[in-house]
Structure 1
Amino acid sequence: MKTKTARMQEVTEMQWKETPMKTEMNNRKTATKLLLVQWSRFQNVEMCLEGSTLFTGVNTSGKSTVLDAMTYLLTGNTQFNKAAKDKDRTVVAYVRGDTKSNGPDRYLRSGEVISYVAMEFWSPVEDSSLVVGVCIESPDETSYKSSWFVCRDTTLSDMNFARVDGGLLRVTPRSELHTAEKRLKSADFLSRDRGVEQVLRALGLRCDPIRYRNKLLKMMAFNPENNIDQFIQECVLEPSNVDSLKDLREQKAQFERIRQMYQMMRESRDQLEKVEKRSVDYENRLRRLRIRQMMFCYQQLQEKEAHKKELEQKLEILRHQEEQLRLRQGEMDERYEHASSRLRIAESNDMFRGMQDSIRAMKGQCAELEREADRYEKEEKKIQNLQHRLETLLSWTQLEDGEGLSKEVKNTLLHLAEEGMTSERKTEHFLTFSSYVQRLDRKFQSLEVHSEDKKNLLSEERESIEQDIKKLRANRMVFPREVEKARTVIQKELENQGIHTQVRVFAEMVQEVKTPEWRASIETFLGKKRFDLIVDGEYCEKAMEILKSRKLKNCKVVITDKLPETPVTEGSASEILNVPNGFARRYANYLLNGIHLCESLGELHEYPKGGLTKDGMLAKSYAVSAMDLEKTFLCLGEDAVQIQLAQAEADRQKNQEEYRKLEEETERTQIHRQEIASIDWNLEHYDFDAQKRLKKVKREQADLERQIEQIQNSSEFMAVIQEQESARKAYETCQRERDEVVGDIRTCSDAQSQNQRSQKMISGDLYKLNREYQDLSSRNMELEKPMMEEYEKLKKQKGSFQVITFGALRDAEKNVNDSIRELENAQIEYCRLSEKDLSRRGTAYISYYREEYRNLANVKIEEAHHKLEEQAGRLESAFMNDFVAEINEAVREAKSEIALINRELRQLPFGNDTYRFVMEEKPDRAVFFRICRRLENYMDSPEAYMSSGRDDEEMERDIQEFMSVILDEEDESEYTDYRKYFTYDMKIISRQGDKEIVADLSKKQGSASNGEKQTPYFIILAASLNQCYPQNVCCARLVFIDEAFSALSRERIEQMVKYFEENHFQVFYAAPPEKISSIGAFIESTVSLVITGRYTNAVEGLVRG
C-alpha cells in the first residue's frame, strides 16, 4: 500500500533528483522482506522492506524487537535493545514471548516452541533472491538451540515456515523445512559462528563477524557524547581482549614466590653463616678449653716430675752422706784395729817383742798378698762379667750386621774368663770385637737420628690428620691450608670494602659426580685446579687486586667475568659433573669440555687431543700418559666429606702403625746401644792374666801364713800392766766413736728409706697423671704441639711451672657453655626462619647445619637464583612477547583503522565539511611508545629484541619501569585497553569559498547545537561501518539506528538521510510515531507496528515510489 502527500512528494523529488535508485541498487544486495515467526509479540508477521525503512509505533510495540531480530539473524547478537540498556531481553524471552507480567500468563508461549527469523535479499548482479534465516528451538523456559541456514535462489514465499490451520498457527519443525525445490538437510543448519559466517558470505561480506557485529551495534545504540575522546574509544575503536596481563600477573606472582623463596634462602644462608660463626666460636673456645685442660694436667705432671727430681737429688745426697760415713767407718775400723793391736802388744811380754816384729813384718807381707789377691779376684770377676755381657751382644750382633764375626773370635769371647788361651789371643780378639761393635753403634746412632726425624714428621702429619678429621666430622670440607687461608683473606678484604659476596673453592661448588667410577680419574686430571677460588664476575677484579696486594702465592682466582658461556659437550668429562652455579659451570666446561670419556684404549686413541679412561690413562696434545690415581685426595661432590673422612681415618691408622714401628725400632736400637755402652771397651782396664796371677799369690800367701803360725806357736811373755791399761782406754774410745758413726749411718739409711717411699708414692701419682695426660693428648693429638708451645711461652714469662690456675680452667669452661647457648640461639633462629624442627639444636647438630649450609649456599640457593633469573626472563618475555606485542599490535591496527576511516571520510564529505580523526600519544604512556619505537630496530618484534644481546640500557630501564607500572596498577583496563594509550579528536575541515577552515571538534562541543554535535558522530560511525562494505563489490550495506536522530533538527535529519542514501546504505530506523514526519518523509518505506491484544502486527505505511 502506498500513500503519498503533496509535501512528501515534493521533498522526495528534491532529495532523490540526483540519486537514481538504479545506481544504488546495482552495488547493493537489498533486504526486501522480513519474517518473524513466534518472536516476542510477533506470531507470524512478514514485512516488506523497500530500501531504507522506518519501524515506528508506540512504546512496547516492538520497534527495537524487530531490530534485535535482524541483528540476531545477521550477526548472532544477543545484546538486545542496547539503546535502551535493557539487559533482561534474551533469546528465550523473545521466543517465549515474555510479557514481564506476574502470574501464569507471563509467557505468550509454553511447551516446546519453534521460532523463525528470516530475511529475503535481492542481488541485482545475480538477478536473484536469497533467504537467510535462523531457527530457534526452545524445549523449556531456560534453554534453546539456534540453527542458521542460507537458501539461494529462493524467496520467503517459497518456504513453509508456518501456516494457519483451523485458526491455529502451525510452525514447521526444522526437520520439515523446505523450499519450493527441496527439503533442507540437517547439514544445511549451522551453529551460530559458522551460520553467521555463512550468512555474511551470502550477503557479500568478508569482514570479521565479531567486528561487524560491534560496528552495527555501536551505530544502532548510538549515544552522543560531549567527550569526543571517549566516543571514539567506545564507539569507533574495537576493544582489544588482552588476556596476557593475567598470565603476566601469574608470571609476576611466580616471580615473587621464587624471589621470596630466594630471599628466604638468602636470609637462611645469612643465619646459617651466623650459626657457623657461633659454631667456629664454640670450637675455638672448646679448643682453648682442651688446651687449658691439657696444660693444667701437664702442669701437674711437671710439678710432680720436679718433686720427684728433688727427692732423687736428696736421695743422692743421702747416699753420698752414707758413703762418707762408711768411709769414716772404715777409718774408725782401722783405728779400732790399731787400738786393738796396741792393746794386744801391751798385753804381750817384752821377751816376745822382737819376735812380734818379725810376725808383724810377715803379716804385713801377707796383707799385701791379700790385697793383690783381692785385686786379682776383682779382675777375674770383671772378666767374667765382661764375658757375660759379650755373650748378650753376640746373641744379636749377627742379626743386625750382615758381615758377622769369625768362629774363632766368637769362641774366644764366649770363653774369655776361662783358662786355656793366651792373653795375647784374648786381647787381639777383644780388640777385633770392640772395633766391630763401635761400628755398629755408629750405625745405630745414625738410625736413631733418622727415626727421630721420621717420628717428628709423622707427628706433624698426625696432628694435621687429626685436625682434618675433626673438621670432617663437623661436616666441613677439607682443602689445602694455603687455599683456606687465601679464601679467608680475600673474603675479609672484600667485606672490609663493603662487598658481601661468597668466595668459594671450585671443588665445593660441584654438587655431584653423576658417575662415581669416573671420580678418581677426573679429579686426578683436574689436580690443583679443583682448589681455584671463584667469586661472582662483577667482583673478580677486586679479588685479583687482593691476590696481588696480599701476595697470596699458593692459590689462584678464576677470572669469572671473562669465562665464555658454552654448552656442555656430550660425552665429555664436564657432562657428568652437576654444577648449579653459573660461573663454576662455565669453568667446569672450560676445563673439561675438551676431555672425552673413553671406555677403552682403542677409544682413547681416537681422541688424541683430549681423552680420559677410568683407570687414569690420559691423552692430551697427542701424547698419552698414566696418572697415579692412588695419591689423589678426592673432594668433588656432596659425598666428598664422607670419602675424605674415610680416607683421613685410613691415613691416621697408617700413620699410627708407622709411628709404632718406628718407636719399636728406636726402642730396640736404644737397648742395643745401652748394652754396648754398658761395656767398658778400654783394654787397659782389663787383665786377662788375672786368674793365673791369683793362683800364684794364693800359693805365696799360704806359705807365709804357715811360717807365722810356726812362730806364734812358741812361748810368750806378758806385757807391762800399765801399757796394757793405756791401750785399753784408747781401745774403748775408738769403739765409742765407731758406734756413733754406725748410728749416723743407720739414720741416713732410714732417711733414704723414707725418701724412697715418697718416690714410690710420687711415681704412683705420676702414673695416674701420665695416664690422664695421655688420654687427653690421644683425644686431642693435634693440640699437643700448640699446647706445649703456649706452655713453654707462659712458663718463660712467669718463671714457674704453674702457668694456669683452676679458676682459669673454670672460666674457660664457662666460656664454652656461653658459646653453646649462643650457638643454640642461632640454631633456633634458623629453625624458626626455615620452619624446621626446633629440637635440632646443640653441638651435636653442628655437622647437620654445615650440611644445610653447604646444600643451601652451594646448591639450593644457586638453583633458586637460577630459577629466579629464568623466571625473570619468562616474566620479561611474557611482558614483551605477549603484553607489549599485543598492545603494540592493537595500536598498529587502531592506527590502521583510523587511517582507513580517515580515507573513507575524505571520500564521504558532508556538505562542505570533511572530517579527519586525530590520535595523539598520551604523555603518561611515553615509556610504552619509546619501547615500541626502539622495537622498530628489531623488525617490530619483541621476540627478536629478547633474543638479542639486550645491551640497550635505556631500553632495559624502560621495560622495567613500564612493567612495574602495569603490574602495580589496580585498574587493569588502564593498560590492557590500547584505546587508553591515546587522546582522540576530530578535525573538521570546512570549505568556505576559497578558504579552508580547520577546527577541532572537541573545542566546538560547548558552543555547537545538538544537531551539530550529533552529526559528526553519525558520520564517524558510518565511516567506520563502511569499511565492512567494499565499494567495488555487490554486498549488503545495512545500518540499524534505534531511537534515531532523537536530537536532530528536520534539516539535519534530511542531511543525514541523504548522506546515508548517497553512500548506498540500507538503513533500518526505529523511532516513535512523532518522528514519522521528520524521518519517514525522507526514506523509502515506513512500517507501523500495531498492538492487537497481546500480539503485534505490522502495517506497511509510506513507501516512496
Structure 2
Amino acid sequence: MKTGREAATMWLRTITTLNWANLPNGTHELAQSVMLTGGTGAGKTTMLDAMQTLMTAGHQDLCTFNAGQDEAKGRSRLKKSRTLASYVLGCDDGPFARPEGAHAYIIGRFEPGPGEAGEPFTALAGFTARLVQDGGERIARTEDELFLVVGGEPLGLEDVTDSQTDEGRLGERLVVATKDLPAHLRFNYPDRPIEPAVSKTEYLQRLYGALCGLRSISESKARNAAKQFARFMVYKPIQHLDQFVREEILEPMDLSEQIEDVSELMQSIQRMRDEAARIKEGVGYLEAADGAARRTIETVADRELVRLEDAWREWRCVERRALMLGEEAERLEQSMQETEHEIRGLDAQLRQLGNRREALAQQSRGSEVVQQKLRLTNQQETQAANLDRAVARLKDGNQHRDRAYDALAPLAKEVDRPESWLPPAEGEPPDWQRLFSRAVQGDSWRGFALSDLIESQSYEALLDQESSVRAIEERYGRVAEAFAHHQEGIRRRYFECKDTLEGLKREAGEHEAAIEQIEQSGRVRYRPSTQRALELLSQNLPECEPRVLCDYIEVSDEHWQLAIEGLFGNRRFDIIVGERFEAAAIDLINRERRRVGPGVSIIQGKRARELAERPGREPKPDSIVHLMRFSDPVVEAVVRANFGDVVQVADSQALTQTPRGLTLEGNASSSLRMFVTRVEESDLVFGEGARRRSIEAKRRRLKEIEREEREAEVRMRSARLWNQALDSVQRPKLIEPFEEVIQEQMGLEETEQQLKALDLSGVEEILGEIDSLDQEIAAARERHGEAMGRRGEIRQERQTNADSRTAAGNKLRELTTRRDECREQIEAMRRINAEGGDWEGALARIAQSLDDTTRAIAVPPDQRLPQLYANLSSSVTHFNGCGLYDKRVALPRATSQASAIEAFRELTLVHREIGATLTSLRDHILAENHEQLEDASRRFNETFIRDVCLKMNNCINRGKDVLTTLNQELRRQTFGDEYYQFSWNWRSDYRRYAEFFERLAEPGQMMGNLLLFDEEGMSPEDEAIFDRLKGMLLDQDRNRGMKELRRLTDYREYRTYDIEKCFVHSERKPISLKTYGTGSGGQLETPSYIVRSAALATALGWSQGDTHLRFVMIDETFEKVDVSRSKEVIQYLTEVLGVQMVFALPDGRSGPLHDSVDMLIDVSKIPAPEGIGELKEKVYLQKSILNRERVEALFREERARARERVSYNLDLKFAEGLDEQAPVRRVNDGAV
C-alpha cells in the first residue's frame, strides 16, 4: 500500500539465498507485509537472519542472530549459538549439511515502488566457511567474505554459479568461490562497475547511501542506520521507560579510549608524585645516613686517638716502673752481700761448737749411766716421732669422717622428701634413709675435740672411745659400699642435671644476647655459619657487599608470618652478593667450608632477575608473594622466581589438589608431596614486626627458661648432694691409727719413767756442759736457718726483679711499637680524611696530658660505635630499599680495631658517596621530577578537558538534541488523534558532574586558565568532584574504578526519561506513560513501536532526501503481544508509515493475523531420504499471496457462526441447570 509521500520508498523486492543454512536455494519475491510461519525450529528466523546479514554485513556489533529467541538474550551451556559460519555450513543442532566447507551468498534486490523515482540496485553478501577441529570439537570458521552493491539489472543464482559440474551440489552448476566472484562478474558484465567493498563498514556506507539515492554516506550514519534496523527486529518488552530510552533510543558514546588515556596520564602523574615522595623519603634517609656517617667517622677517629693515648699512657707507666725495678735491684744486691757474710760467720761458729761437744762426748763414753741416758733419749725421740705420725693418720681419718658427715647430713634430709630421687637398683635397693640416719645420728665424734684431747695427752679418755670408733668406721663403710654399687647411676643423674641446667643457662644467654643485639642494632642474629660466611666474605672479598636475604623482606599479614618463614626455612639466611662476584663468593665458601660450616648458600641474583623479567612469570593472583614487601630488587626477584607459584590455600583438603600451596597453619605442598613447615615465633626474622614478635617470644621463652631453670636447679641440688656424697663418703681409717696412738703413748710414758729412774749424780757436770752446748748449737742452727731463708728469699726477689725488668723492657718495646703504629694509623686516617677532625691539636693535647689524671680524649661508650653502625646501616638499607634510579649506597661493615684503617677508609668513601648521591637526588633528580610533574599536569589538564569534559558536555547536549529531533518526527506520526513525545529531567546525583563538565568545557580552560591540580583555582564543589574522579582514576581495583568511570561518562544516565501521550485536537494535558496504564506493560507496546519507528525514521532519513528505505523485520514479537495490538502495530507500520514489513510467528499464533498481511510463507521441515550432508531433513517453503479483503470477509463470517454456536450452547446449558437445581431447592426448603 502506498503512503502518498512524494519521496521514493525503497523496498526489498526479492531475496536470494544460496547455501544459507538449510533453506532451499532460490529467489523469493516479497510483498509489503510478509508473515513467516511454521513450527518451532523450522527455519523462520533463518530467513530473517539472511535479510539481517544483508542489511548489517553480519557485523558482530550490529547483528544478532536468532534475535527473537532466548539464545539471543543468554547463552545456554548445552545449545550452541548460531554464527555466520554455522549458517554457511548448514548446522542444525550439531550435524552439518556441508561439512566439507561451502561458499554461501545472500542477494537482495532493492527497488522503489511502482511509478516512484529511485534507482534500483542489488546488494550481495558472500561468505566462505570451513570446519576446523579444536580438540575433540568441530568448530565452523569463516575464511572469506565479499560484499557488493551493484546498480542496474538484478543479480541471481546464475550469476554466482558456473556451468562446470559441482558433483551434483547444484544441478549442473558450480558455486563460484567468494574470492573469484568479482572477476567472474566482471567477465560476464564487462560494462557494469564491480567494486567489492574493502570492509564491512564501507559496504554499509555504500548500501545505505544507495538506499538514500547517494553513492555513499558517512560511517557514523551508516552504522547508526544498520544498528537501528537490527534493533527494530528484536523484541524487548518495556520494563522501565528510562532503560528503554537509554538503550533503544539514545546511542551510547564510548569514551573508553579517552578514559584510558586520561587514566594513564593520571597514573603517570601519581607515579611522579609517588616518585617525588620516594625521592624525598630517600633524601631523608640519606640525610640521616650522612649524619650517622659523620658521627661514625668521628667516633672511629676518637677510638684511634684513645688507643694512642692509652698506649702512650701505658708506656709512660711502664717506664716509671722499669726505673723503680732498677733501684730495687741495687737494694737487693746489697742485702744479698750482707746475708752471705752472716752465713759464713754462723758456719764457723757451728764448727767450733760441734768440736767442743764432740770432745765432751768422748769424755763421757766411759760412763754406763751416760750411755744409758743417751740411748733412752734417742728412743724417746723415736717414740715421739711415731706418735706424731699415728696422730696425723688419726686426724686424717677423722677429717674423712667429717667430710662424710657433711655430705650425708643434708642428703639424709633430702631422701626424707617423698619426691626425692633415689639411685635405680637392679635388685633389692638399699634402705638409703636407714643407712644415712645410722651413719649420721650414730657419729659420736661429730664435734668431738680430738685435737684437744691428744694435746692434753688424756689417753685414758681417748681409750674410752675405742668402741665408738669401731662403730663409726663400720657405718660409714657400709654407706661407702652402697655408693660404690650405685656409682654409675649417681654420676649419670648428676651429669644429666648439669647438662640440662647448663643448656638452659646457655639458651637464656643466647636469647638475652639476641634481644640485646636486635634492640641495639635492629638486626637479627644470623645462623653461626651465615655469620662466619659474612665475616669471611667481608675480609677476603669486601667489594662483593655481602648481605642476607632476611633483612630485605617483610610479611604484610602477620597471621601468615610463621607459615611463610617456615616455608623459607634456612633459605632466609641465603647470602646476596654483587652479580659480578657470585662465582668468586661460592668458590671462597667452598675453599673455607671447614671454617664456615654447612648450609651456606649464595643467591644467583642475576639469574633470578632474568627469570623475574620473563613474560608469563608473574606471580599468581593468590600467590604468597603478595603477602610480602621487599626493600631490595634482587631479593624480590629471588622470591618471585622461587615462590611465585606457591598459592594461599584455605585448608588441608584443598591442599591435596594444589601443586604448590601453603595454608595458614603451616601445611605446604610441592613436588607431589605435602609436609608441615613452621618455625618458632622466637626465630622470626622477616621485617620489623617479625623482630618485635621475636623479641616478645624470646622474652616469653626467657620466663619459661627461668621457671625451668628453677626446677632444674632443684634437681641439680639433689644430684649435686648425691655426687658430693659419692666423692666424699669412704670408709674412714680410724681403728688402726687409733690403736697406734694408744700403743706409742704407752711406750713413751714407759721411756720417761726409765729416764727418771737413772742416777746421774756422778756425771751431772759433764752432762750440763753437753746440754749447754746443745742449746748454743740449736740457737746457732736456728740463726743459720733464718739466714739461709733470707738468702733464698733475696735470691727469689732478685729473680723476680730480673724477670720484671725483662718484662718491663719487653713491654716498653711493645708499647713503643704500638704507640708508633697508632700514630701511623692516625697519620693514615688524616691522609684519608684530612677534614675529619683536628688531628694535630688532638696529638698535642695527648702529649701534654700524659702525666695528668684527666684524659685528653674522652673514651666513647662501648655500645656507641655498634649503635652508630646500626643507625648508618639502617638508613642506608632503607634508602637502598627505595630503589631510586638504581642508585645504591654500599653498606658499611662494622670492622674490628685491627682493620681500623679499612673501616675509616670505607666509612669515608661511604660518606662521600652518600653526599654525592644526596646532591644528585636533591639538586638534580628531584628538580627534574618537579618539572616533569608540572608538564604532565598541564598535559592532563588539556587532555581531560578536551577528551572528557568537552565530549561529555557535547554528548549530554546531543542527547537532548536527539530527543528533540525525535519529538519533531513523532509529532508528524499521529496515531489517530494521539501522538507521543519524550520528556526528560536531570538526575540530581549526576547534575553536579554535568555542571562540572560544562564549567571546564568553557573556552579558555584548556589553554591553561585553570589547572586542575591547583586547588586554589577551583571551587570547593568542583574540587570535591575532581577528587572523586581522581579516586576512580587511581583506584587500585582497576576494574572497579573503570566501571565507575564508564558509568559517569555514559551521558544517557544523566537524565530521567518519560514518554507522554499527547492529543492533537484537545486541550487535555499530556499523560505520562510512567504512571499510565494497568501496570501489565501491554499499553506500552504501541507507543514503543511508534517511538522505535521514529528512531528508525530518523536513522534512515525518512524526512530527508528523495529516496529512503522503508523496510523492517520483526522476529516473533507478536507471539508475546495480544492480537488486537499486533494488528494495530501492523496497520500503523504498513498503512500509516508505508513500511515494508517481514515478521515471523509460530503456527499457533499466526491464524488471527492472516487478514493483516499480503503474503504468507509457511516454513516446514520434511524428511530427506537421500540425506543432505549429515542431515536427514530439508526445509520446505510454501508461499501464498493473500487477498486481505476476502480473508477478512471469511473471518467475519466464521466469527458470526462461532457466536451463534456459543450462544446456543449457553442457552441449552442454562435450561438444564434450572431443571437440576429444582429438586435441591425443594429439599432445602423442606429442611428449612
Q: Return the TM-score normalized by structure 2.
A: 0.45
Q: Return the TM-score normalized by structure 1.
A: 0.49
